[in-house]
Amino acid sequence: MLRTAGELGLGAAVAIPLLNAVLTISIRGGKASRRSAALAWLGAVGALVALVSVALHGNYLVGLPAGNSLLQLRADRLTATLALFIAGVGALVKSFSVRYLSQDGMAWRFAAGADLVVASMTVVATASNITLLAIAWIGAGISFAAVLGYRRDLPGVSRAARMALWHFVGGDAALAIAVAIVVAKLGNLKLGGGPTLAQAAERLGWAAIPVAALITLAALTRSAQGPMGRWLPASIAAPTPTSALLHAGVVNGGGILLIRMAGLAQSSAWVAGAGLAIAVGTASIATRLMRHRADVKGELAYSTVAQMAFMTAEASVGAYLATLVHLMSHGAFKASLFLSSGSRVRRGRGAGAHRSESSATATATAKIFAATVATAAGAAALAATLLVGNGAAHRGGEVLAAFVVATAASAAWTFTRHIPEALWAVIAGVAMVIVASFAYAGSVVLLGQWMAPSVPTPAHGVLAPMWLLALAAVSAMVALAGRTRRLGASLTAWSIDAATATAARERVPGFLLSLRGGAGEQAAELEEGDAA
C-alpha cells in the first residue's frame, strides 16, 4: 500500500508542477499565483511520501505512462532525497513570491516558469536513463532563462536573460552530444546506484574522454564556473524570487549531474583534474570578489559562485556524499538569504563604520580564541565520526571535517568582535559551537551510512580528496594578495560590473574578466581614488 503511495507521490512531484504551470498560464492574475504556491507544497508532500516509501520498502521505478521505459523515474535514497529538496525549495520560493510580487501584474509568468523549473529538475534528479535526464536538463535551462527574463522592462534583465540562455545553450549542447555518443555506441543506459555507468565508460574506449569532458563542461556551465560563469552575476538584475529559485536545482544542478552521471564524468583523471583546476581558480577569485561588493545580492551571487566551485571540486575528487551535503545545505541556506536580503539591507544601514572600527580593533587574543574554538570543534567532529560511525569514514569525510573547522573559526572570529560582558554568555556560545559541530558530524556520518547504497562509488584512479588542499592553498594566497590596496581597488571596480572602466579591465586578466557580468558607473570613482 505504502509502495503504491510512494509511486503516486513521485509521479505527483513531477505532474503537479507541470499541471500547475498550464493552469497558471491559462488563468493568469494574482489568484493564479496564490493557487500555484499552494499546489507547490502538495508536490513537495508527494516527494516526501516517495522518500518515506523508499526508506521502508526499498527502490522502485515509476513509469509515466506506466510501462514506458523512456519516461521512467527511479526512486532510491539519493533520487528521492534530491526530489524532496528541489520541491521544498521551489515551494518555499513560490510562497515568498506571492507576497513579494503581489503588485506585479506579470507575477503569473514567474509562477508558471518556476513550476517548469521544479518539474524539470525533479526529472533530472530522478530520471532512470540518460536520455530522459538530458531532455529534462535542457528543459530546466530554457525554463529558468524564461523566469529570469519575465520582467524584461527592468534594467539589465533582458541582457541577463540572453546571457543565461546562450551560456545554457552551450552547456546543454555539450551534454546532448555526450549522451548522443553514448546512446549511439551503447544504447540508452540506465541510471542507478550500481556500476553500470563505470562499466559503460570502459566499453566506450577512446570516446570515454570526450564524453567525460562534455558532461563536465555542462556541469561547469550550469554551476557558473570559470569562463562559463558570466551569467550568474548578471542574474541579480531580476527580482529577488528569481535569484532564490536558482538554488532549487539550477545553479547547484551541476553537482546533481556529476553525481548522477559519475561513472561517465569520472572516467578520465585528466578531465577531473581540469574540472578541479577551474573550480580552484573560480573559488579563489569569487571569494575575493564577494568581499568587494557593496550590494547584498551581488555579494550573495559571488558567494554562490564560490560555493559552487567548492561543490564542483568535491565532485571532481569523487567525494559524492560531501557534494550532496554541500549542494543541499548551501541551496537551502542561500535561498533563505536571498529571500531575506531586503531586511538585511535595512539592518546594514549605518553598519559600515562599525564594521571598519571592529576590524581595526582585532587583536592577537581574538585570533588565538578563534583558533582554539576551531580546534575544539574539529575534535568534536572527529569524536562524532568515531563514535557514531564506529571509525568508518566515507570518501571526502576530511572535506566535511575541514568545513566544520573553518565554520567554527569564522563564527568564533565574528563572536570576538561582539563579545558579551557576561562570562556565562561566552561559555555558552563556545559550548554551542562544540555541540553543533558534534551534531553536524554525527548527522553526516548517519546520512552517509544511509545513502551508501545509492551514492556512486568513485572510479578507480580518480583524484584523491587530498587534492582539495590545493584549493585551500590557492584561496589563502589570493586572500593575502587581496589585502593590497591596489588589487583590492581593482577587484572592487571589477566586481561592480563596470563595462566602461577600461583601466580596471586592463589590470584584470582575461580569464578573470570572463566572470564579469553587467554595467555600472562606480568603477571610475574607485579608480580615481586608487590613483590618488
Domain closes at, from 102, 128, 154: 128
DSSP state of 283: H
User: What CA dihedral angle connects 235, 236, 241 and 242, to 10 degrees?
Assistant: 0
Question: Looking up cell 578541479, which residue turns up?
Answer: 276
Residue 466 domain-assigned?
yes
Domain closes at, from 100, 128, 156: 128
Residue 338 domain-assigned?
no
Q: Which domain holds residue 407?
A: 361-531
Residue 70 domain-assigned?
yes
Q: Grid coordinates in use for 503?
A: 583601466
How far is the C-alpha of 354 from the C-alpha of 211, rounded, in Å? 52
- With a CB cutoff of 8 Å and minimum separation 6, the contacts of 154 are 237, 238, 239
Q: Grid coordinates in use for 133?
A: 535526464
Q: State how far the alpha carbon of 238 is from the alpha carbons of 45, 86, 100, 294, 473, in Å.
A: 29, 21, 13, 17, 35
Question: Looking up cell 503511495, which residue turns up?
Answer: 5
Residue 139 domain-assigned?
no
User: What CA dihedral angle connects 242, 244, 249 and 251, to 10 degrees?
Assistant: 80
DSSP string, 2-13: HHHHHHHHHHHH
Residue 329 domain-assigned?
no
Residue pair 189/182 in contact by the 8 Å Cβ criterion: yes
Q: Grid coordinates in use for 448?
A: 552517509
DSSP string, 411-474: HHHHHHHT--S-HHHHHHHHHHHHHHHHHHHHHHHHHHHHHTTTSPPPPTTPPPGGGHHHHHHH
State the pTM of this model: 0.81
What is the pLDDT at residue 396? 57
Domain closes at, from 128, 147, 170: 128
Domain total for the chain? 2
Residue pair 4/60 in contact by the 8 Å Cβ criterion: no
How far is the C-alpha of 117 from the C-alpha of 56, rounded, in Å? 29
Residue 515 domain-assigned?
yes
Say which amino acid occupies 206.
W
Residue pair 327/256 in contact by the 8 Å Cβ criterion: yes
How far is the C-alpha of 47 from the C-alpha of 52, rounded, in Å? 9
Closest by Cα among 315, 313, 301, 310 to 235: 301
Q: Are strands 72-75 and 60-63 parallel, antiparallel or unpaired?
A: antiparallel
Residue 341 domain-assigned?
no
What is the pLDDT at residue 18? 92
Provide the residue-wise pLDDT of the chain in tens; the chain has 532 residues: 556 888 889 999 999 999 989 888 888 766 777 788 888 899 999 999 999 999 888 888 887 665 567 888 999 999 999 999 999 999 998 888 888 888 888 888 888 999 999 999 999 999 999 999 999 999 999 999 999 988 888 888 888 888 899 999 999 999 999 999 999 998 888 887 556 787 888 888 888 899 999 999 999 999 999 888 889 888 888 888 888 888 777 888 999 999 999 888 888 888 888 888 898 888 888 877 777 776 777 788 888 888 888 888 888 888 888 888 888 888 887 777 777 765 555 544 444 444 444 444 445 555 566 666 666 666 666 666 655 554 444 565 556 666 666 666 655 555 555 555 556 666 776 777 777 777 777 777 777 778 888 888 776 556 666 666 666 666 666 656 655 555 555 555 444 443 333 333 333 444 344 444 443 333 333 333 333 3
Residue 302 domain-assigned?
no
